[in-house]
C-alpha cells in the first residue's frame, strides 16, 4: 500500500471518533482542512491536532518516513494564552501569545487577541520544510503541516515553502487549513482548489 493510501486510511479511521473536522489529501499528499482555532470567532476546539498526532504516531509505527510540525494550545490556569509550534523531531517554540495591548505596532502581526511570533515560527518550521524539500524523490515521505492558517500565512517564506512542498513529487502532505469564512486566504483557496487534493469533511453536529 502506498504511503498516501496508508495516511488516508489512518485519517478516515480517526475521523470516526471526531467531529467538526475537514481533511484533505493532495497528489499522493494529504492535507486536512479544519476549523482554525487561531480565529477568535472559530468554532469550539474539535480535536484536529489530536487526530494529527494519532495519525503521525501510526505512520511512524508503520515505518514510513515522516517529518513536519503541529500547532498546540498553551494554557495557564485553564485559560488559553497562545499557541506553540511543535516539530515532530521534538523542538518547540511560541507561535503566538495573548496580548492585552490593543495598539499594534508596525512590526506586530496580530490575529484577534493573539500576537504572532513570526521569528520563532520561521526558525522552527522553515529549516524543517527545506529538509523535506531537498530529500530524494525516490523515497516517498510524509510532511505534516498543522496548520496553514492566518497566523502562519504572515510568513511569505512559509507560503513559498508550502508551495514547494506541495509540488514535490516525492512528498505526501498531511496538513490542516481553515474552513471558508471571512476574507479568503489566497494560499488556502489555492490548495483547496487543487485537483490533486483530497478533502475529508466532518461537521461539528
For residues 67 and 52, the model is more confident at 67
Please report, for residues 41, 134, 197, the alpha-carbon distance to residue 127 in angstroms, rounded to integers and kept in the order given. 32, 11, 25
CB 152 within 8 A of CB 121: yes
d(C-alpha 184, C-alpha 34), whole Å = 14
User: What pLDDT, on the 0 to 100 scale, is given for residue 36?
Assistant: 37
**Res. 39: pLDDT tops 50:** no
Q: How would residue 149 be classed by pLDDT, with cut points 50, 70 and 90?
A: very high
**Which range, 62-71, 120-129, 160-169, 179-188, has the best average confidence (pLDDT)?**
120-129
d(C-alpha 55, C-alpha 18), whole Å = 13
Q: What is the pTM assigned to this prediction?
A: 0.78
Amino acid at each position: 500500500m502506498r504511503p498516501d493510501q496508508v495516511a488516508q486510511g489512518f485519517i478516515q479511521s480517526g475521523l470516526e471518533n471526531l467531529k467538526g473536522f475537514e481533511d484533505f489529501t493532495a497528489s499522493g499528499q494529504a492535507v486536512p482542512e479544519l476549523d482554525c482555532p487561531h480565529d477568535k470567532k472559530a468554532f469550539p476546539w474539535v480535536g484536529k491536532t489530536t487526530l494529527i498526532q494519532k495519525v503521525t504516531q501510526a505512520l511512524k509505527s508503520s515505518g514510513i518516513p515522516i517529518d513536519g510540525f503541529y500547532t498546540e494550545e498553551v494554557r495557564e490556569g485553564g485559560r488559553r494564552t497562545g499557541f506553540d509550534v511543535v516539530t515532530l523531531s521534538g523542538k518547540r517554540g511560541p507561535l503566538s501569545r495573548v496580548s492585552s495591548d490593543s495598539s499594534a505596532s508596525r512590526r506586530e502581526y496580530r490575529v484577534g487577541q493573539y500576537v504572532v511570533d513570526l521569528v520563532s515560527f520561521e526558525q522552527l518550521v522553515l529549516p524543517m520544510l527545506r529538509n523535506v524539500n531537498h530529500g530524494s524523490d525516490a523515497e516517498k515521505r510524509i510532511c505534516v503541516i498543522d496548520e496553514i492558517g492566518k497566523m502562519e500565512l504572515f510568513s511569505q517564506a512559509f507560503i513559498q515553502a508550502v508551495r514547494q512542498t506541495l509540488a514535490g513529487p516525492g512528498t505526501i502532505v498531511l496538513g490542516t487549513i481553515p474552513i471558508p469564512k471571512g476574507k479568503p486566504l489566497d494560499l488556502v483557496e489555492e490548495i483547496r482548489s487543487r485537483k490533486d487534493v483530497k478533502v475529508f469533511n466532518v461537521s461539528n453536529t
